[in-house]
Structure 1
Amino acid sequence: MSESLLHGKVAIVTGAGGGIGREIALAMALAGARVLINDIGASLGGEGQSGTPAQQTKLIIEQRGGEAAISTDSVADWASARSIVTAALDHFGRVDIVVNNAGILRDTIFHKMTPEDWTSVINVHLNGTFFVSRAAADVFRKQESGAFVHMTSTSGLIGNFGQANYAAAKLGITALSKSIALDMTRYNVRSNCIAPFAWSRMTSSIPAETPEQKARVERLKQMTPDKNAPLAVFLASDAAKDVTGQVFGARMNELFLFSSPRPIRSVHSAEGWTPETIATRALPALQSSFMPLDRSGEVFSWDPV
């Protein structure tokens, strides 16, 4: 990876203590960026745990000749998220890139999901993405430049079992990113999403009991977190100066561009509609274009290579 692609830039990467976040932080450092590693050292479910994963990421960057600093503030609180951006300014004097990667999982079937299951995931993923982005927006607007890279998921873009909280947050992030792109393009600020495919802490809780589930897990294990890093570095760089408001995917050696919802079929009635005519005329016309009730694993059904 070119060491000059991000030369002189400062990147904030949340959830950079391991997995995809760590690989993105390492790749950005190799591309020349100084990196603020944000990680609270929490477990997959968001609980505190011992150890300093952010220190490990920092050590690797420094061993490779890069420069990094650490923030342990939570993204899920307005004031704390602003402290993350302040830390980058204090350490490096500027901010050019924000990668919103921090996340937790509280997977459970919808009709058993508790309010705490819902709010904890929404707070980290969706609120956290807004809080950190909003804090950086003040800096980006003043300097009239900046790049946001947000992590979404096919669980939200397509669907998955037992992830109503996670899916809602991740699809919400795509709408947030598009709004940021629309509102801040006048300031030369870009905002894009990545739907990453990787075996990491966030996917290690996937059940592997049936032969089909075990086969899926084995496919996932082939998709190492580092496969997502080149796309993140590109989107953060000036090479992507004309790319904004888009949703990409990275799956092993494949790259995807996802569509946004658009009208796909319409019906018209000069007399207007009643519930009865919707049932007898509109439904038969529209039903053949209904989206199937499928899941991410069924859409991406081929083995990655």
Structure 2
Amino acid sequence: MTDIRFDGRVAVVTGAGNGLGRSYALELAKAGAKVVVNDLGGSGAGVGASTSAAERVVQEIRDNGGEAIANADTVATRAGGAAIVQAALDTWGKLDILISNAGFLRNNRFEDLTDEQIDPIIDVHLKAAFYVGQPAYRAMRAAGYGRMLFTGSASAMFGHAWQANYAAGKAAMLGLSNVIALEGSAYGIQSNVMMPTASSRLEGEMTSGYMEIPQFAKSFESADFSITEGRMGPEFNTPLALYLVSEESTATHGVYSSNSGRYARVRICVAEGWVAPKGNVPPSIGDIGAHFDKISELGNYSEPMTGYDEFTASANAARKQGVYP
């Protein structure tokens, strides 16, 4: 495949002052995109603010012959999100790409999480996706083209002890992106979620306290890290992120994983399950227990793309099991 270019495209990358966002912004600009480099400049725990992080990335882009502007508005308020998108519109008159990447960690046991550890995490992940995403979507809809990429996490899809707040915010990206993909399909807008894996400054916000959970500790200690050496930098995630927001990509309504140079689709599917006997009498709790192995068996499965698709999948299962003709 020839190199994928972004000439003439305008992108907003949030949290682009460091790590993954910085890599996305640099490579987009290198491939011809004009980039709003957004970063509040806080720590990995979301403390403090500074314009220097975004300005350094912009200078690096300009030194390499690219076009970029710095923006230090917060993604965690409606006014901040609107200002970020408006910066793109005021400078270049349009917005084609949004990579919603900003975020931070505040880890603790589930039962010990405080409002100060929950609310800011929800604000910077879930609410920010609305606050930046809504004005971005409006601009894309008006133009009849757009690419949106939301940052998910294996902590949400698969689980990570001591990260209930972060996992809840990241899991919400799936539902949000799916709806945007459906609504955006009428206006040339595609939306996906990417689960990156990278060594970054956020690691400094993690402690080993989660190893108190035996099941989690066993998973960590038995994990095979043999392919990770030299492959955990942000740059290993960037090719997938940029492809998903490129004009060449037709992918939408999806979740994709990037882990140590392995790139894969992550699926949410529904098993065939067990269908209760024909009629309008619901099964008993005992019926559920008696058929729970069948209910839990993945076996044949379908992948509903809307909630209504599941009705069709249920009808197909009923016919297959001879419950309904």
Partner in structure 2 of residue 18 of structure 1: 18
Distance change >3 Å, CA 221–CA 144, structure 1 → 2: same
What CA deviation, in whole Å up to 9, does each residue of 1:130-183 have, x standing for no partner? 111111111111110011011100111111101111111111101100100000
1:233 to 231, 237, 242: 242
Structure 1: gaps spanning 5 or more residues: 291-305
Distance in 1 between the 2:37 and 2:2 partners?
Answer: 21
**Paired letter, 1:93:** G
Partner in structure 1 of residue 288 of structure 2: 278
Partner in structure 1 of residue 82 of structure 2: 82
Distance in 2 between the 1:215 and 1:84 partners?
Answer: 43
Secondary structure, aligned partner of 1:140: helix
In the superposition, the TM-score normalised over structure 2's length comes to: 0.81
Deviation at 1:285, TM superposition (A): 3.9
Partner in structure 2 of residue 263 of structure 1: 271
**Contact preservation (8 Å) 1:14, 1:100:** yes
Deviation at 1:252, TM superposition (A): 2.5
Deviation at 1:215, TM superposition (A): 9.2
Distance change >3 Å, CA 34–CA 42, structure 1 → 2: same
Secondary structure, aligned partner of 1:203: helix
1:188-207 paired onto structure 2 within 5 Å:
188-207=188-207
1:1-305 paired onto structure 2 within 5 Å:
5-49=5-49, 52-207=52-207, 219=228, 222-240=231-249, 242-270=250-278, 271-279=281-289, 281-286=290-295
Structure 2: gaps spanning 5 or more residues: 212-216, 300-325
Distance in 2 between the 1:49 and 1:181 partners?
Answer: 33
Deviation at 1:56, TM superposition (A): 1.2
**Contact preservation (8 Å) 1:198, 1:221:** no
Secondary structure, aligned partner of 2:183: helix
Deviation at 1:51, TM superposition (A): 6.5
Secondary structure, aligned partner of 1:255: strand
**Paired letter, 1:207:** T
Distance in 1 between the 2:32 and 2:224 partners?
Answer: 34
Between structure 1 and structure 2, the one with the greater Rg is: 2
Distance in 1 between the 2:25 and 2:221 partners?
Answer: 30
Distance change >3 Å, CA 51–CA 146, structure 1 → 2: closer
Number of equivalences: 288
Distance in 1 between the 2:164 and 2:171 partners?
Answer: 11
Distance change >3 Å, CA 61–CA 12, structure 1 → 2: same
Higher RCO (CA 8 Å, separation ≥ 6 residues): 1
**Contact preservation (8 Å) 1:154, 1:195:** yes
In the superposition, the TM-score normalised over structure 1's length comes to: 0.87
Distance in 2 between the 1:93 and 1:3 partners?
Answer: 26
Deviation at 1:114, TM superposition (A): 1.0
**Contact preservation (8 Å) 1:2, 1:30:** no
**Paired letter, 2:80:** S
**Paired letter, 1:35:** V
**Paired letter, 1:272:** P
Secondary structure, aligned partner of 2:291: helix
**Contact preservation (8 Å) 1:4, 1:32:** no
Distance in 2 between the 1:155 and 1:221 partners?
Answer: 22
